[in-house]
């Protein structure tokens, strides 16, 4: 696994929009990154609008490709999610980036980019995007620590559905819908021996069950080292009730696994969306008293 270099004062960080059009201001993100000592560089087409998308496929690809190839850009912060990254994913030329990898951070629709980076054995960050950078101070400060210091540690309260245990393994995951969407593609998620983390927003309970069945049938729940269940936000029942809510649906599919499982990590579509390294070994410790998740790049470089 290639680990991009940590950032230094004066480094340039690109903001690009490979998915949905931006419908809010980027001033807070630009100001925050500047306060960190970075120089934000906005993609040429970042404020474009082509129907649903932040510009045409060609424009979004051009901005992302330019940020990947430019040696002066040391990190890429995705502007927002929505939908659209998979439309350009297979057209990306990774050759220059793989020679000089840089941190890429995003979530939701950007899960497709995360699994693609994992295929290329390059670490990245599942975390806040430019339009969400003002949502939560702990989230934002944690991202700063990860980019500049290479470490982060989270402690959260226990959950009644947790399964106790400790593991140290590479972390991978993201939005459940997008993870399922990768199956059968060149960027299909690889889960064997890894800690899998999942989050979702706005789905019906029976859709959730269907996606978990798909993961199971595809072998993605086999041979896991651990599981982290993040936020499952704004989930809903059908008029013909499914008979179980989100966490109950999830626990039915995971309870047979004899591995550490942690529920309730603030990760996903809520205000607090704690960033995590993907492709990097994490230590997950689930006890009766608490859950801790920690990363330190210094121990693996």
Q: What is the pLDDT of residues 81-98, one digit of tens each?
A: 999 999 999 999 999 999
**Confidence band (pLDDT; 50, 70, 90) for 292?**
very high
As given in the structure block, the two tokens for residue 272 are 């607090």
**Confidence band (pLDDT; 50, 70, 90) for 299?**
confident
Find the catalytic residue in 170, 199, 200, 203. Answer: 199
Predicted confidence (pLDDT) per residue in 1-29, tens digit:
999 999 999 999 999 999 999 998 899 99
As given in the structure block, the two tokens for residue 161 are 């559905």
CATH code for 12-149?
A: 3.40.50.10740
Specify the CATH class of 154-299 in words: alpha beta
Distance from C-alpha of 69 to C-alpha of 80, rounded to nearest angstrom: 21
As given in the structure block, the two tokens for residue 252 are 């039915």
Q: Is 158 exposed, middle or buried (0-12, 13-18, 19+ CB in 10 A)?
A: middle
Please, which residues have CB within 8 angstroms of residue 149's CB and are 6 or more apart in sequence? 6
95 is catalytic: no
Mean pLDDT to the nearest integer, 210-232: 98
CATH 3.50.30.60 domain range(s) in the chain: 154-299
Distance from C-alpha of 169 to C-alpha of 187, rounded to nearest angstrom: 20
Mean pLDDT to the nearest integer, 204-208: 98
How many residues in the chain? 301
108 is catalytic: yes
Residue 301 has pLDDT above 80, yes or no: no
The number of beta carbons lying within 10 Å of the beta carbon of residue 200 is: 26
103 to 24, 176, 267, 277, 278: CA distances (angstroms): 24, 22, 19, 10, 11
Residue 113 has pLDDT above 70, yes or no: yes
- Residue 102 near residue 122 (C-beta atoms within 8 A): no
Find the catalytic residue in 108, 112, 142, 187. Answer: 108
Supply the pLDDT for residue 223. 97
CATH 3.40.50.10740 domain range(s) in the chain: 12-149
Whole-angstrom distance between the N-terminal and C-terminal Cα of the chain? 10
| Model pTM score | 0.97
Predicted confidence (pLDDT) per residue in 153-185, tens digit:
999 999 999 999 999 999 999 999 999 999 999
Predicted confidence (pLDDT) per residue in 45-65, tens digit:
999 999 999 999 999 999 999
Supply the pLDDT for residue 300. 79
Please, which residues have CB within 8 angstroms of residue 83's CB and are 6 or more apart in sequence? 19, 20, 52, 109
Q: What percent of the chain has pLDDT over 70?
A: 100
């Amino acid at each position: 696994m290639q680990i991009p270099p940590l950032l230094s004062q004066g480094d340039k960080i690109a903001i690009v929009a490979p998915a949905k059009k931006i419908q809010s201001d980027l001033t807070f993100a630009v100001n925050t990154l500047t306060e960190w000592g970075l120089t934000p560089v906005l993609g040429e087409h970042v404020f474009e609008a082509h129907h649903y998308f932040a510009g045409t496929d060609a424009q979004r690809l051009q901005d992302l490709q330019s940020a990947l190839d430019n040696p002066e850009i040391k990190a890429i912060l995705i502007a927002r999610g929505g939908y659209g990254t998979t439309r350009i994913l297979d057209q990306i030329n990774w050759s220059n980036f793989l020679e000089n990898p840089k941190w890429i951070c995003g979530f939701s629709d950007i899960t497709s980019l995360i699994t693609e980076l994992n295929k290329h054995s390059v670490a990245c960050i599942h975390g806040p995007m430019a339009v969400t950078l003002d949502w939560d101070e702990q989230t934002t400060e944690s991202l700063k620590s990860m980019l500049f210091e290479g470490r982060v540690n989270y402690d959260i309260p226990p959950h009644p559905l947790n399964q106790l245990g400790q593991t140290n393994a590479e972390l991978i995951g993201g939005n459940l819908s997008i993870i399922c969407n990768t199956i059968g593609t060149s960027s299909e998620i690889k889960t064997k021996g890894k800690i899998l983390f999942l989050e979702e927003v706005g789905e019906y309970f029976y859709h959730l069950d269907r996606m978990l069945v798909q993961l199971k049938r595809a072998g993605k729940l086999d041979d896991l080292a651990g599981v982290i269940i993040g936020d499952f936000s704004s989930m809903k029942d059908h008029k013909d009730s499914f008979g179980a809510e989100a966490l109950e649906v999830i626990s039915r599919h995971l309870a047979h696994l004899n591995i550490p499982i942690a529920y309730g990590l603030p990760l996903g579509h809520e205000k607090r969306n704690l960033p995590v390294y993907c492709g990097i070994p994490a230590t997950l410790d689930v006890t009766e008293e608490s859950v801790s998740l920690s990363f330190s790049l210094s121990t693996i470089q």
